[in-house]
Amino acid sequence: MSLIEQHWYRPRGWLTALLAPLEGLFALLAAVRRQAFRRGWKSSEKLPVPLVVIGNINVGGVGKTPLTLALLRAFAARGVKVGVISRGYGGSAATPIEVKPDGDPAQVGDEPLLLAAAGAPVVVGRDRVAAGRHLLALHPDLELILSDDGLQHYRLARDLEIVVLDGRRGLGNGRLLPNGPLREPPSRLRSVDAVVVNGEGGDLPLPDGLPRFTMTLRAGRCHALDDPERTRAADDFAGQQVAALAGIGHPQRFFDTLAGQGIAVSRALSFPDHHAFGAGDLPVDADAVIVTSKDAVKLARVLHEPAQRARLWVLPVQAMLAPDLCDWILARLKMEHGR
């Protein structure tokens, strides 16, 4: 973690003063952009079906993708036809493109591949309005669209805004980039429809009356990269040199999850979010390397030697929500289950 990122959660007075001018400039530009849409200087475009944004006001991993996956499962169980649009961070696609489960993460990004593997139609694109229209052109029977991120993409009109917060890190020092981790000020939470807190977060300064949902990530058994049916419990790694590798927004959460599972990790390797992995990123002295599902979709494309692939294990996690967020969304949108 860089000095500035440490400052976001353990503020240093001298650094606060040093970064204040840049923070002020960022705040001004963000405010002007928001006002441009609120006052009608710029227009938002609405898609023909309801759209729910799953976003955040701070940078770094907060758990949006596990939440979106959980909602896709819940909507599918209720017979609601749902699709997803995403920016496709880490991908090179300049125009909207549908994501296939066996797609190239270098083109469409890593998170959209996980969403597509869940069985939902997914389209990525830098212009989310265009992505939404392309998704509906390909799948005109969709009843609802989830936007994976896009809270600040104001050109895309939305019916509901759901913000995800990391319960442990919260809003950090409460300051905007680069002086803090926030893309928008804490006051932005007054205008969203609900907040989902990932993990413990009892002291978060949330607006009164804002609907709040709690999300916990339940880890499953590790499975082999090439064979999800071949699984291991924590005890099966005993006596081995185990490395953990993570290129996600908050790697420590992954490492803590492994520790909570009772898996003793000898080396924990952190990489930037959306890191483009290569075979050289794997430690050569590890008997087993455990990775996230998000990183596994990229590593599967670059690891070709059987010996390398045989050492790779994936730890899946599933988001558990309380109370039921899916039913709350359907009620707010006045949608009947499986209409």
HSE, CB side, 13 Å, CA atoms: give it for residue 237.
Answer: 30
Mean pLDDT by 10 residues, the chain (339 residues): 90 96 96 92 95 94 93 96 93 91 91 94 95 98 95 95 94 96 95 95 85 95 95 95 93 93 95 89 94 94 90 96 97 77
Query: At which residue do the structure tokens 């294990």 appear?
Result: 313
pLDDT at 93: 85
Tell me the C-alpha distance between 311 and 299, whole Å: 12
Of 302, 174, 314, 307, residue with least CA distance to 244: 314
Report the C-alpha gap between 125 and 50 in whole angstroms: 19
**Is 58 part of any known ligand binding site?**
yes
Residue 60 annotated as part of some ligand binding site: yes
CB of 147 within 8 A of CB of 68?
A: no
Q: Is 239 left (phi over 0), alpha (psi -120 to 50) or beta?
A: left
Whole-number Å distance between alpha carbons of 5 and 160: 30
How far apart are the C-alpha atoms of 86 and 82, rounded to whole Å?
14
Confidence (pLDDT) at 337: 62
**Which 8-state DSSP code applies to residue 45?**
B
Diameter of the chain measured on Cα atoms: 64
Dist CA 336 CA 303 (whole Å): 46
173 is in an annotated binding site: no
Decide if 36 contacts 42 (C-beta within 8 A).
yes
- The answer to whether the beta carbons of residues 178 and 23 sit under 8 Å apart is yes
Q: What is the DSSP letter of 86?
A: E
How far is the CA of 283 from the CAs of 98, 102, 181, 199, 280, in angstroms?
34, 26, 31, 30, 8
Please, which contacts does 105-111 make with residues 24 or more away whose CB atoms are closer than 8 Å?
105/297, 105/298, 105/301, 106/276, 106/301, 109/274, 110/274, 110/294, 110/295, 110/297, 110/298, 111/65, 111/86, 111/148, 111/294
pLDDT of residue 202: 63
Measured CA to CA, the distance from residue 29 to residue 318 in angstroms comes to 37
The reply, when asked if residue 59 is annotated as ligand binding, is: yes
Q: Is 298 annotated as a binding residue?
A: no
Torsion of the alpha carbons at 106, 107, 112 and 116, rounded to the nearest 10: -110
Q: Where are the domains of the chain?
A: 38-81+143-216+320-332, 221-315
| Element spanning 314, H or E | strand 312-315
Q: Is 79 annotated as a binding residue?
A: no
Report the amino acid identity of residue 207. Answer: P
Residues 6+ apart with CB under 8 A from 36: 42
